Amino acid sequence: MSERPRVWVSQPLFADVLARLGEHFEVEATREVTRHEPAAVNAILRRMDGALVTLNDPIGAEQIAGAQRLRAIANVGVGYNNLDIAALSAAGILASNTPDVLTETTADFGFALMMAAARRMSEAERWLRDGHWQRWSFDSLLGADVHGATLAILGMGRIGQAIARRATGFGMRTLYHNRSRLPAAVEAECKAQYVGFDELLARADHLVLVLPYSPQSHHLIDAAALAKLQPHATLTNIARGGIVDEDALCDALEHDRLGAAGLDVYEGEPRLNPRLLQQRRVVLTPHIASGSLATRRAMVALAVDNLIAALGFGPRAGDPPSPINGGTRDRGPGTRI
């Protein structure tokens, strides 16, 4: 009997969802959340035919060097800046991600984070828990309205569009900027108007970042970009931390050049820029935008489907549902999220 392919699961995920891998493969699963050293990953991948990894696991030339058997990497996540797609493609390794299944959950969270920042919810709760509420006062903790305001979405992929659809229920005016303009029918459905980058910033009451992280978007929101925002504007980031220059953001907050911020992602997470923790007018959450139970399970299930199909098994053998490279839907780097 020929040997079964071997696959590695880099982090503990839902064991019952992963169980399907065992129908086809020898599975080596990591039991605890681990920050794997590149050399350790390389030693493992040299023995593997496939791997299921998360955004905590950078996979590039160093990790796949000499991994002769490796044919597929399934990323659990829609953003895949942890994968070096050029290196994987050059080695003939099929990479996949998990779009669509997290769109609505992530949009819910982005909208909630924007509202929480605008209405100072974290600050208000800290104030209350710290025992400051002695009597009700008419002008304490006044925030900014969301209904009727101008929503500015940077990155109008699936999640950006889902946020725009939510904004219609709040009577917002939605502007967006994206690498390419959306078809008129999609703009009409989202009630969103395409504008240039500078105009987006200048007109935003609430700016929400939903674009992919790439060398082009690194620190796109820097001091110069922040200076284009209105001083009452809020900034919400549910994309990747590296898109925002966090020191420039702290400067803007400290000098009242920005109303508030809602952040779910950080450059260098889980390590936080200590200055962010000092800011009153920020809502900070630990990268949980896609974190509903149902959605996280669906993401793992899709990654499992991708891995099984990419390694030539199951009903879609050879045709994984959401390939990034080398598949029927080669979407190249910087795909909209």
240 is catalytic: yes
Residue 8 DSSP class: E
Catalytic-labelled residue, pool 269, 275, 297, 331? 269
Q: Specify the residue, 78 or 208, whose C-beta has the smaller distance to ligand 3PY.
A: 78
Residues in contact with 147: Cβ distance below 8 Å, sequence separation at least 6, in sequence order? 170, 171, 172
Nearer Cβ to ligand 3PY, position 75 or 122? Answer: 75
Site residues (CB under 6 A) for ligand 3PY, limited to 62-91? 77-79
Closest CA to 180 of 156, 152, 153, 198: 156
Q: How far is the CB of 107 from ligand 3PY (least distance, A)?
A: 12
CB 211 to ligand 3PY: min, Å: 12
CB 47 within 8 A of CB 26: no
Q: How far is the CB of 255 from ligand 3PY (least distance, A)?
A: 30
The count of residues interacting with ligand 3PY (CB under 6 A) is 6
What is the C-alpha to C-alpha distance for residues 310 and 256, in angstroms, rounded to an integer?
51
Whether 82 and 60 have beta carbons less than 8 Å apart is answered as no
Q: Is 269 a catalytic residue?
A: yes
Pick out residues in 103-132 that bind ligand 3PY (CB under 6 A): none
Cβ-based nearer residue to ligand 3PY, 102 or 249: 102
Q: How far is CA 254 from the centre of its chain?
A: 27
Nearer to ligand 3PY, 78 or 250 (CB): 78
Q: Is 143 in the site for ligand 3PY (CB under 6 A)?
A: no
Query: Of the candidates 242, 171, 239, 179, which has an alpha carbon nearest to the alpha carbon of residue 207?
Result: 239
φ, ψ (nearest 5 deg) of residue 241: -60, -35
Q: How far apart are CA 232 and CA 212, in angstroms?
A: 26
Indicate the residue among 111 and 313 with the shorter CB distance to ligand 3PY: 111
Q: What is the dihedral of CA 50, 52, 54, 55, to 10 degrees?
A: 30
Q: Which of 36, 120, 177, 240 is catalytic?
A: 240
Alpha helices by DSSP H, listed for the chain, are 15-18, 38-45, 61-64, 85-90, 103-118, 121-129, 158-168, 184-190, 197-203, 223-228, 246-254, 274-278, 293-310
Give the per-residue contact string, 32-61, with ligand 3PY (x = CB under 6 A; - = no): -----------------------x------
Residue selected from 96, 103, 236, 290 as contacting ligand 3PY according to rule CB under 6 A: 290
Q: Residue 195 in contact with residue 203, Cβ under 8 Å?
A: yes
User: Which CB sits closer to ligand 3PY, 102 or 182?
Assistant: 102
Catalytic position from the list 24, 219, 232, 287: 287
Annotated active-site residue 287? The verdict is: yes
Active-site residue set: 240, 269, 287
What residues line the site for ligand 3PY (CB under 6 A)?
55, 77-79, 102, 290
